[in-house]
Amino acid sequence: MNLVLNEEETMIKDAANDFLFENAGPDHLRNLRDDPDSKGFSVSLWGQMIDLGWPSLLVPEEFGGLDFSNVGMGQIMQQVGCHLATSPLLITGILGVTLLKNSSSNHWKAKILPLIAQGKTKMAIAIDETSRHDPQVIQTKLTPKAGEYVLNGTKLNVVDGQVADSFIVIAKIPSEKPKETDDICFVIVDSNQQGISVKNNLLIDSRKTSSLIFSDVKVTDKQILKFNESSESILQKLLSTANIYLSAELLGIAEKAFELTMQYLKTRSQFGVKIGSFQALQHRSANLWAEIELGKSIVLKALRSLDEMDQDINKIASMAKAKTSKIAENATNEGIQMHGGIGMTDEFYIGFYLKRAKVSQLLFGDWKYHLDRAAYLSGY
């Protein structure tokens, strides 16, 4: 496996960096936070991303996309982390596309994928029902009723739920084989459908999520996404994809927080010398740098494994998420500490990185969750 970026991948990384350097970053995030009408992401930035074709990158050519690689898209996510960019790219442009691409429901593919590619629709994926991520706990239920179904249940922490045009909801459904435990399935519902209530939460990093309550929402058989694989395995792979991209984002956050900190160590003086000359800080910095180098390797490995459909993808994803969560935690915490008092101020940048890092760590399973999952998948 090649652990070096090829020319095309390097180009997209540089282009994403240049673009986001101009159009995102902590100052933009602060403006978003202070905007009373904020939707939890930057509408103008999303518009620009659409113009650049980012939501179409992973969409297959037959549906109007560019069929680009995950390694390529991963470079963008890493830069999204570096520049704290807020947009529906992860959920709609990456997870929504991945899920639909893998589905065998041609109707939905033909209907939604082109819309995503053109930036004309936003989705949300409703998985978690517990405050601590645990996809084994699904109580939201599809119950057969008069030849159709009704959907009931509550979903928490649904990213982009506040702006989505449609939701993909993970729900239990009675097994087709009698006496067996319920299966899970993926249901597509329009966000305007009767019986859905949406309550928004503002997060520490100025993004928004929603709690969704479904009460007797009518669902037809057509609204259940079909796959050629078990829904359980599709869900695991979807979560792995999510966590690999979050790992790329966390790596970007760590890299930038580290860069800011190194700049500060070279400019701030105390005791008549630059604070970067203190060995206590040098060793902690060197250690952090080594950790970030390790993070780069596992993120690239994980993205390539996605492209190559590696059998161990779930294990690699958990390893990547566990590792990058710790690296980002370390880089942002050390960042604050090494800035001293100014690191605690809202005016300074490092705090924005701390907040974003924590949210991305918790999303779809934190360090602890993924250590456990990796151990389990390693056979112990």
Partner 1 sequence: MTNLSLFRESTRSWLADNCPKSMREPMLEKDICRGGRNHIFQSNDQKIWLDRMASKGWTAPTWPIEFGGAGLCKEQAKVLREELIAIEARPPVSGMGISMIGPAILEFGSETLKKQHLPAMARGEIRWCQGYSEPNSGSDLAGLQTKAENFGDHLIVNGQKVWTSYGDDADWMFCLVRTNTDVGKHSGISLVLFDMETKGVTTRPIQLISGTSQFCETYLDDVRVEIDQIVGEIDAGWTVAKYLLTHEREALGKMGSSPVERSIKEQAITCLDLTNGRLNDEVIRKELIDWEIDYFCHQLTSERVNAEIASSGVGNTSAMLKYYGTELNKRKYELLISIHGSESMHWEDNPVSRQWLRSKGNSIEGGTSEIQLNIIAKRILGLG
Contacting positions for partner 1 (CB under 8 A) = 2-4, 262, 265-266, 274, 276-277, 279, 281-283, 285-287, 289-290, 293-298, 300-301, 319, 322-323, 371-372, 374-376, 378-380
Distance, C-alpha 356 to centroid of its chain: 12
For residue 213, the minimal CB distance to partner 1 (Å) is: 35
The distance of closest approach from Cβ of residue 343 to partner 1 in the complex, given in angstroms and rounded to an integer, is: 18
Please, what is the minimum distance in Å from the beta carbon of residue 330 to partner 1?
Answer: 13
Q: Give the shortest CB-375-to-partner 1 separation in angstroms.
A: 4
Name the residue nearer to partner 1 (CB basis): 137 or 290: 290
Residue 164 and residue 39 in contact, taking contact as beta carbons nearer than 8 Å = no
CA angle (370, 317, 40) in 5-degree steps: 80
> In the complex with partner 1, which residue's Cβ is closer, 110 or 375?
375
C-alpha span between 287 and 139 (Å, rounded): 44
- Nearest CA among 93, 82, 67 for reference residue 24: 82
- C-beta closer to partner 1: residue 24 or 306: 306
Compute the least distance from the CB of residue 342 to partner 1, in Å. Answer: 19
309 three-class SS: coil
Render 318-365 in DSSP notation, one character per residue: HHHHHHHHHHHHHHHHHHHHHHGGGGGSTTSSHHHHHHHHHHHHHTT-
Distance of closest approach, residue 183 Cβ to partner 1, in angstroms = 22
CB 255, min distance to partner 1, A: 13
First to last CA, the chain: 26
Q: What Å distances lie between residue 181 and 5, 172, 184, 254, 305, CA to CA?
A: 45, 10, 10, 43, 32
Which residues are CB-neighbours of 201 under 8 A, at least 6 positions away?
Answer: 157, 208, 209, 210, 211
- What is the DSSP code string of 259-302? HHHHHHHHH-EETTEEGGG-HHHHHHHHHHHHHHHHHHHHHHHH
Which conformational region is residue 304 in: left (phi greater than 0), alpha (psi within -120 to 50 degrees), or beta?
alpha
What's the min distance (Å) between Cβ of 121 and partner 1? 37
Distances (CA, A) of 127 to 3, 103, 210, 272: 32, 17, 12, 55
In the bound state with partner 1, the residue whose beta carbon lies nearer, of 233 and 378, is: 378
In 3D space, the residue among 56, 58, 85 whose CA is nearest the CA of residue 70 turns out to be 58
Tell me the closest approach of the beta carbon of residue 241 to partner 1, in angstroms.
Answer: 19
157 vs 247 by CB, closer to partner 1: 247
Nearer to partner 1, 112 or 371 (CB): 371
The rounded distance, in Å, linking the Cα atoms of 144 and 337 is 56
Tell the smallest beta-carbon distance from residue 3 to partner 1 (Å). Answer: 4
> Quick one: 193 or 285, whose CB is closer to partner 1?
285
Q: Which is nearer to partner 1, 282 or 345 (CB)?
A: 282
How far is C-alpha 157 from the chain's CA centre?
12
Cβ proximity to partner 1, 65 vs 335, nearer residue: 335
Decide whether 87 or 243 has the Cβ nearer to partner 1: 243
